[in-house]
Structure 1
């Protein structure tokens, strides 16, 4: 699974195609709930064409914004591949490699231009993406799973399409809001964030399907979250009633973050971690563990896409002075603010270059470095 906000679409697609190029088995790419621009659709079609070794990628085929329901929303080729994958036996011989297959299921009316141009772009404005995705694989599920996920897909459809007259509406929009707004984990932890969201969704549905009221579902959120933490962080820390739930998630994120997840610069001999577009709460909590408790860096800088910076430091560093010298800011020795000249940063690499440029322009020293391993003894 891959997830992407609109600004991250090009990077997510690059990662997907890179993974597909390395795969040792037939690939199919199913994109849902994403209306690609015509330019992005052309790029996707070209990338698939390039991977097909000369085989033509289907194009054309005008579609209306109100496509009728049918047994399977997938193309016949993708449906056959999916059916084979779900029913294949380990004793069967490995299939011959075939060209990658592509299908996009969209419910945004703004995808009409791409839907008119490409057969693989299926547009239906009368069902939400969750229903489209479910109905595309429903024929290949057993009866029990089909019934369960049909009910859940229809439930999400009520909230996603804002069907206010449906009695499930309040619950549906509560679940959607819970998943969209609940950002407890660090951005680099993509797989862990996905596991967390699936856990929250499944916990919500299980309790609701037992007859819980919306108030009971809302009260249950704490238990859903804590249930995810169990067995993922030390039990004594997890079960300590004096530690807040946020602290526990910050500990989980700090434990899961790899050295390569936090790019580092050495600024005037100080090991500095760069945190691009991290939520403020997560940044502060994770930095407290990585920097203050484990000594893995001297300075931590959170920088947003607008170039605004938040600096934190250990006791032996004064980031108020450093920010004043290089980043047109200032503040306290342990916490300061600043700003970069470039206020349209697209990714962490661009942020790193902007920070390096700001330091070198003021005759400072800057070079890439690595995050230190944790200190052997954690500070109290």
Structure 2
């Protein structure tokens, strides 16, 4: 079975994914906040299923053994239009011969209307989504490693206590530490490094199991988080600052995306990132390590532009010409009027490349 798991971007949302990856080997993860991003991720799942190697091979060879697909959604309540859209798309896939099942596990009362209509929409307002996911999957599927139950059970209880705010529940104080850790662990940008960002948070959350049952474990874990983050990012916590560790980790990941993120301005070659923010150290390090690039440009969701160069391109002129901005030759900024926010990097790149071909 191939599982596509969409979840929220808080402790409870990532907790659900920490749980599910201990039940399924063949699993793909997606995350979304509320609003337009939910449908964007649902569309990504549909597209992934339609173009999965299993689907294509079965179609080519008329295989009698059919892959089963599970769309698992947790800690996200779908509106009626969103739920209807998902059902219609899945119905289309079923008509084309695909075996697709939906399972939505949530606890937000705002999803009650959809839960009354769709049989796959499970709503329980008395448990957090992580606990619902753990207990539901445990009823349906075996754990990949049965001994993991020893720490998954208290982990789910801890997240349940803090997410639905049971101050006398198990691990409530520990949960507050874990919740803060997840919300503040943004060293790897979610839009540029989707998989790495998620893995970073899930791995940090999994580290919590080593402290959860200790006396005063919440304090011990709280004290260790900064060091654990440095290690998770591939640094030496005793010899390197977090700023340098994070910058090197980001540059290494960005360097793997050079072909995808190259952008052209006349005879200059640039690198485009989306929503990185605070790029001064990062951009200069990237340009130093990738001398084939003449400039670095970052755009945020509001259309604000940051430009950096290393002596090979006058980004102040570029900013003035295209982005109603200005600054220094090697560091400038501006803004795109009428910028269209998107959750897909390809959409952002297309907008920027068009702008660079058409001066103001």
Q: TM-score, structure 2 length as denominator?
A: 0.78
Contact 1:138 1:146 in 2 (8 A): no
Partner in structure 2 of residue 199 of structure 1:
203
The one-character-per-residue Cα deviations of 1:225-277 (angstroms, maximum 9, x if unpaired) are 233244xxxxxxx3485531232122122223323675232113221222122
Shift of 1:144: 4.2
SS in 2 for 1:2: strand
Q: Which runs of no fewer than 5 residues in structure 2 stay unpaired? A: 1-28, 55-66
Q: 1:263 maps to what in 2?
A: 261
Kindly tell me: are residues 268 and 276 of structure 1, through their superposed partners in 2, closer, same or farther at Cα, counting changes over 3 Å? same
Tell me which moved more, 258-267 or 25-34.
258-267
321-330 or 141-150: which moved more? 141-150
Which residue in the other structure is 2:26 paired with? Answer: none
Q: Which residue of 2 aligns with 1:309?
A: 305
Match of 1:85 in 2: none
Q: Deviations over 1:195-222 (max 9, x none)?
A: 2112101112212323344332111112
Q: Is the 8 A contact 1:159 1:173 kept in 2?
A: yes
* Residue 41 of structure 2 corresponds to residue 9 of structure 1: no
Provide the alpha-carbon RMSD of the alignment.
2.5
Q: 1:353 to 1:127 in 2, by over 3 A?
A: same
What is the Cα deviation at residue 350 of structure 1?
4.0
How many corresponding residue pairs? 312
Q: d(CA) in 1 for partners of 2:150 and 2:236?
A: 37
TM-score normalised according to structure 1 size: 0.74
Distance change in 2, residues 1:274/1:337 (3 Å): same
Please name the residue that 1:154 is paired with. 157
CA distance in 2, matches of 1:134, 1:23: 29
Q: Is the 8 A contact 1:290 1:296 kept in 2?
A: no
With over 3 angstroms needed to count, the CA separation of the structure-2 counterparts of 1:176 and 1:240, relative to structure 1, is: closer
Residue deviations 1:53-78 (CA, integer Å, cap 9, x gap): 278xxxxxxxxxxxxxxxxxxxxxxx
- Paired with 1:135 and 1:106, the residues of 2 have a C-alpha distance of 13
Deviation of 1:100 after TM superposition, in Å, equals 1.1
Aligned residues of 1:342 and 1:354 also touching (Cα < 8 A): no
Change (3 A) 1:51 1:11: same
Deviates most, 30-39 or 249-258: 249-258
**1:219-298 maps to which residues of 2 (within 5 A)?**
219-230=223-234, 238-239=235-236, 243-257=240-254, 258-259=256-257, 262-278=260-276, 280-281=277-278, 283-298=279-294
Report SS of the residue matched to 1:52.
helix
1:145 to 143, 148, 157: 148
Unaligned runs of 5+ residues in structure 1 are 56-97, 231-237, 364-380
The 5-angstrom pairing of residues 1-380 of structure 1 reads: 1-6=29-34, 7-21=36-50, 22=52, 24=54, 25-53=67-95, 99-139=99-139, 140-141=142-143, 144-166=147-169, 168-186=171-189, 187-230=191-234, 238-239=235-236, 243-257=240-254, 258-259=256-257, 262-278=260-276, 280-281=277-278, 283-346=279-342, 347-362=344-359
SS in 2 for 1:100: strand
Aligned residue for 2:208, secondary structure, equals helix
